[in-house]
Amino acid sequence: MLSLREDSPFEMLSQFSAHFDGDLIENLGAAKMTIENEHGIGYISLYELLPGFTAWIYNIKFSEDLVINMNFKDDRPYYFGYNVSGYQMQKFPQDIGYKKIRQGQNFVIISKPNSSSEFVIPNNIEYKCCYIIINPELLKESKIPSKLKLIHDLTESFKLNNESEPFRYFGDIDARIGTYADVIVENERTDIIGRLITEGAVLRMLGSQIEAHAHDSNIDNFKPALTKSELSRITNIGDYVLENITEKVSVDEISIHLRISPKKLQSGVRFLYGYSANEYLTRLRLEHSKELMHSTDMNISEICFAVGYQSKSYFSKIFLDTFGNSPSAYRKSYEDANLLYDISYRSLAEDSLSRKDVDEIINIARSSNPQFNITGSIIFHRNIFFQIIEGPKKEVMTLFKNIRSDRRHKDIQIMWQGFKMKREFDNWALATISDEGELKVEIQGNTKNLELSNLLGELDQSAIDSENLWRKVRNIIKLNADESAA
């Protein structure tokens, strides 16, 4: 049984990854855990559209029944779901037996605060499901009118008699919801384009689910006017725009590139994203501008031109209309919130590196970085450095710039880079890996050991060099840090 703590979506996926020895890849606002081992084959991914608004996708086949004991906190989020393929079982503590959630069925689950619920996904079935997780307490912090309206709609639709009791709604088989859920489940991308594909389908799926609950309706004949092949080609629109992001790209130019008529292009974009083609192009440019704010020190004018706008005032206006903040206010919100920045990387040491050099690097990291409010963890093993660096963005970026220019490091590969809400380490933690594959994590006075050979088999040099291993090491260290702080 997997005992799952309700937490941020990224932390919950980390718990899945540790349980299944999965390969967890994180991007800004998205993450994906892939397994291909004795536990099963497939992936679980998530997309955080806003803090408090997340899509969670299963596209996986487990070798054994997966039993999840979900331990809820007191925020009481809404769990909207749809089984595209396969089925699952669910029960609250007061239930005598499990309730079956069928393939093609629309469902909504709202927990009792500080309680639990069990979910079972049967083994050896192609399980494809989309969950939309909404935390109203986090979502209401958004200044975007459409998101505030969503909270109002949820409150009006789900008027619970006793908010301390759990709520469960299993609706009819609903083909319209299934069409949107299928788009979400089959989208394997976690980059900016993948997030926009998911965001459009999620919003339309959620609207259909709320409507289905309100009217208990069954719409059996909803189908898009395009073939799957045409819809697939339309999802490539984002790649083409990003490749030409500094240019003014027209809808006609895109339709020629995708070999699809402008009318079908407009229809397909409207179906996939809920926007017109021009609105989608604008949204893609603005999302890319946010990404540049997160990952670079470019000023607002530089970012404006980098995403294809020639007028800073126009760029600021449409950014404000879309996200509820001006670009400057959006960037400043990170500084005011004192959010932490994290860079986790793996690098190869120069062949001439001596043990003295290694000791010097580790000693500097442990003694000097805390004075810049930087904490983290460092490993050196078989000529490979692995570090997790966390702290204020300016200081972290400065340190990483120095690391990049340090002759003792080469072939630097970033495992993760982005903002996070909380610090994982109170000070500078040391982790070591033995030649036998034992990971020893020393965090805040506690030491935990894990046999990495259980994850990847024999730890030969090719395994040690792999990004897959170091992503798993990062996840293990972070989970141990969370448990030590708890």
Output the six-digit token pair for 451: 């046999």
Burial 100-125 (b: 16+ CB within 10 A, else e): ebebbbbbbbbbbeebbbbbbbeeee
pLDDT tens for residues 193-213?
777 888 888 888 887 787 777
Q: What is the C-alpha to C-alpha distance for residues 470 and 482, in angstroms, rounded to an integer?
A: 18
Q: For the chain, which residues make up each domain, given as ranges?
A: 2-215, 228-309, 340-485
Q: Name the 3-class secondary structure at 245.
A: coil
Contacts of 8 (CB under 8 A, 6+ apart): 421
Nearest 5°: CA angle at 41, between 37 and 45? Answer: 115
292-306 pLDDT per residue, tens = 887 777 899 999 999
Please give the distance of CA 181 from its chain centroid, rounded to a whole number: 17
Q: What is the DSSP letter of 260?
A: S
Reduced to 3 states, what is the DSSP secondary structure of residue 135?
coil
pLDDT of residue 355: 75
Domain 340-485 top-level CATH class: alpha beta
Distance CA 132, CA 213 (A): 15
Higher pLDDT pick, 215 / 393: 393
Surface-to-core class of residue 166, CB atoms within 10 Å of its CB (0-12 exposed, 13-18 middle, 19+ buried): buried
Residue 98 in contact with residue 91, Cβ under 8 Å?
A: yes
CA distance 326 to 372: 30
What is the second-level CATH architecture of the domain 2-215?
Answer: Sandwich (2.60)
Query: Where does the pLDDT of residue 456 fall: very low under 50, low under 70, confident under 90, or very high at 90 and above?
Result: very low
Predicted local confidence at residue 124, as pLDDT: 93
Residue 271 near residue 224, CB atoms below 8 Å: yes
Residue 223's pLDDT band (cuts 50, 70, 90): low
Mean of pLDDT values over 58-75? 89
Worst-scoring range by mean pLDDT, 128-132, 218-222, 226-230, 277-281? 218-222
Report for 250-259, 332-341, 362-371: range of highest mean pLDDT = 250-259
Of 441, 444, 445, the residue nearest 475 (C-alpha)? 441
Average pLDDT over residues 56-80: 88
- Kindly give the pairing relationship between strand 66-71 and strand 99-101: unpaired
- Give the model's pLDDT for residue 433: 58
pLDDT of residue 63: 93
- Answer whether residue 485 shows pLDDT above 50: no
pTM for the whole structure = 0.65
Check whether 62 has a pLDDT greater than 90. yes
pLDDT at 147: 66
Contact 275, 265 (CB under 8 A): no
Residue-averaged pLDDT of the chain: 79
**In one letter, which amino acid is 360?**
E
Pick the CATH number of 228-309 from 1.10.10.60, 2.60.40.1150, 1.10.8.190, 2.60.40.1930: 1.10.10.60
Cα–Cα distance measured from residue 52 to residue 80, given in angstroms and rounded to the nearest whole number? 13
Alpha-carbon distances of 301 from 241, 279, 327, 328, rounded to whole Å:
20, 22, 10, 10
Residue 236 neighbours by CB under 8 Å, 6+ apart: 258
pLDDT higher for 476 or 413? 413
Q: Rounded CA gap, 440 and 437, in Å?
A: 10
- Could you give the 3-state DSSP secondary structure of residue 319? helix
> Phi and psi dihedrals of 470, rounded to 5?
-75, -25
Q: What is the pLDDT of residue 61?
A: 94
Position 313 scores a pLDDT of 92
